[in-house]
Amino acid sequence: MLNFEFYNPTRIIFGKGMIAKLDEQLSPQARVLVLYGGASAERSGTLNEVRAALGSRTFREFGGIEANPTYETLMKAVAMVREEKLDFLLAVGGGSVMDGTKFVAAALPFEGEPWDILTSKGEAAKKALPLGTVVTLPATGSEMNCLSVISRQSTGDKLLFSNPLVYPRFSVLDPMRTMSLPMKQVINGVVDSFVHVMEQYMTHPVDGMAQDRFSEGLLSSLLEIGPRIIAAPEDYDLRSNLMWVATLALNGLIGAGVPHDWTTHMIGHEITAKYHIDHARTLAIVFPALLKVCREAKRAKLLQYAERVWGLTEGSEDERIDAVIRKTEGFFEGLGVPTRLSAYDIGPDGITDILKLLEAHDMTALGEHGEVTLEVSRRILETAA
Ligand code: NZQ
Ligand code: ZN
């Protein structure tokens, strides 16, 4: 196992009706900014539940955070926090609102140009306002991690930062608040979580016994949840399982002490930046192609995944690897999520554009061994054509 430090200070408050518990988490004197996205939080009644829980506290609201939150919009929230002298940020939404809120938290006390928080990958942030979240879309794990992905309209960049200062103090996970999601977003959550687990698992073995089996449990759960949740969208237990699996997939636990390969996400972010395809959908394009191109480096883990998650034990090693890659692709396709760039009309010119963005952002040595050069990324994208 590799050396590691594990730290996660986020309190999880899980279950039906738990938004009322906000009252216990916030001081009566807190001056709160409630941040949300478009119309969904109001329409679904989640905002009203939050308002009721805040009671007589002073609070303001900032709506309009986009899917793939932008620096331009978030800087308006920073100005509002400053003018109104607010001291606690409460995100009500999915990954975009939670990530956006983390950026506001770090940008407010930042001396200098806050975009430097992104270009320094988070290192430049020295202080942050406290924040909490009320999750409405299980997918990103943002509710229990210190990552944030922000886009900049003026340049077309989509960059990630991480800093322990922006761990949420608490996150409320009420599966009922996900019932209003369009099925497309629910499935995005299944795919995003699946790939998060994979990026901390599908590398090479380091004998992380608990991490591997924990990851395999999460993958098996997602394989089961995906088709069942399409068939039974109102099933509370399935919603609960998806919500908790999505959180566990990216809260640091399964990734401690094992190698990571975030190639799929790094290429996926560029595809979203350029073509505005939903985050999870970009991952379904890249991940199967990555497995095909990097199958030798990932050979041992592919065989382990084939046997333990899919029960594939027959045939030669190469046959089992072929079969498990086909099955993984089939899982995404079976959920109605395409695995090819052509499904989005992205051709050879598009591949060149995506590679240019990777180069501009120094994404030229990705993967667990740093061997995913631009040339390898090109092969991955061509395989996904
Ligand atoms: O804007 P509204 O009207 O709220 O609609 C949203 C949005 O259009 C809607 N929605 C959310 N909850 C709903 C709902 N609609 C009905 N009922 C509800 N309960 O869903 C749409 C998508 O929301 P968004 O927050 O954008 O989705 P997601 O949670 O998938 O977040 C994606 C963002 O997170 C980043 C991605 O890059 C992307 O910017 N990521 C963040 C990570 C992290 N912080 O750890 C890791 C991820 O890999 C990812 O990169
Ligand atoms: Zn993701």
Q: Please, which residues have CB less than 5 A from ligand 2, an ion?
A: 192
pLDDT digits (tens, 9 = 90+) for 282-322: 999 999 999 999 999 999 999 999 999 999 999 999 999 99
Helices (H) and strands (E) in the chain, counts: 15, 8
Question: Does residue 309 sit within a domain?
Answer: yes
185 CB within 6 A, ligand 1 = yes
The pLDDT of 172-195, averaged and rounded, is 98
pLDDT digits 0-9 by tens, 34-69: 999 999 999 999 999 999 999 999 999 999 999 999
Q: Are residues 167 and 249 in the same domain?
A: no
Shared-domain flag, residues 133 and 268? no
pLDDT digits (tens, 9 = 90+) for 85-140: 999 999 999 999 999 999 999 999 999 999 999 999 999 999 999 999 999 999 99
Is 5 contained in some domain? no
**DSSP H helical ranges for the chain:** 22-25, 40-43, 46-54, 71-84, 95-107, 115-119, 183-199, 209-231, 236-249, 263-275, 279-293, 299-310, 317-334, 348-360, 374-383
Q: How far apart are CA 175 and CA 135, in angstroms?
A: 9
Six token digits for residue 166: 């922006």
Separation of alpha carbons 177 and 158, rounded Å: 28
Which structural domain range is residue 310 located in? 182-383
Predicted-complex ipTM score:
0.99
Q: Is the CB of 37 under 6 A from ligand 1?
A: yes
Whether residue 148 contacts residue 97, with contact meaning beta carbons closer than 8 Å, is answered with no
- Asked if residue 166 is part of any domain, the answer here is yes
Which atom of ligand 1 is least distant from the CA of 188? 30
Q: Check residue 125 and give its pLDDT.
A: 98
From 42, 73, 74, 96, mutation site for ligand 1 pocket: most ligand atoms within 8 A of C-beta: 96
Q: Which residues, in sequence order, are CB contacts of 52 under 8 Å at separation 6+?
A: 20
| CB-ligand 1 contact for 68 (6 Å cutoff) | yes
Instruction: Provide the domain count of the chain.
Output: 2
- Contact at 8 Å (CB) between 11 and 171? yes
Q: Are residues 169 and 216 in the same domain?
A: no
Of 179, 95, 164, 191, the residue nearest 135 (C-alpha): 95
374 and 267 co-located in one domain: yes
